[in-house]
Amino acid sequence: NLPLEEWLFFIVIPFSCVFIYEVMNYFVKKDILQQYHKWISIALILFLLTTAIMNSHKLYTFFTFIFLALFLLIHLLVFRSNYMGRFYLTWLVCMVPFLLVNGVLTAMPVVIYNDAQNLGIRIYTIPFEDVFYGMLNILQVITIYEWLKNKA
């Protein structure tokens, strides 16, 4: 029973992020985070796992943080993705429209979150976990996009 706006959110935001990713790759020739991407991933994995374990009773926090930590770990150890520096830069840029759209959806409120299932920390009206949920969502789409691009 999600409203149309929420369904569109799951289509428009990933598409927009892939577009931003390609625009960033086109205009920013140097991968400025290339040399730091492993350390960024390791720091995020440690933060996410620690927070998830300490909040295992908060389902949204736990599952969002565990899944993102595992996906980052897979990128780090299995995929050894060479585009993670570019992904992190794109993710930072994507946070602007992501926070604006999500801010509208949570302020109206089109989407209501149960604070018993998250940390209760908000960025305006947006649960803190949504930043990492957004990262997981965008990374999944970029991963598939890069796989398809390399396959072609």
Percent of the chain with pLDDT over 90: 72
Give CA–CA dist 57/51, Å, rounded.
Answer: 11
Q: How confident is the model over 43-78, as pLDDT tens digits?
A: 999 999 999 999 999 999 999 999 999 999 999 999
In 3D space, the residue among 125, 49, 134, 140 whose CA is nearest the CA of residue 94 turns out to be: 134
User: Rounded to two decimals, what is the model's pTM?
Assistant: 0.90
In 3D space, the residue among 48, 118, 39, 114 whose CA is nearest the CA of residue 84 turns out to be: 39
Whether the per-residue pLDDT at 12 is higher than 90: the answer is no
CA distances to 11, 22, 52 from 83, rounded to whole Å, are 23, 12, 26
The confidence score (pLDDT) of residue 99 equals 86
Contact 106, 131 (CB under 8 A): no
Per the prediction, the chain carries an average pLDDT of 92
The H or E element spanning position 126 is strand 126-127
In 3D space, the residue among 79, 97, 96, 91 whose CA is nearest the CA of residue 146 turns out to be: 79
Q: Name beta bridge partners: 113.
A: none
Give CA–CA dist 28/34, Å, rounded.
Answer: 12
Give CA–CA dist 63/29, Å, rounded.
Answer: 35
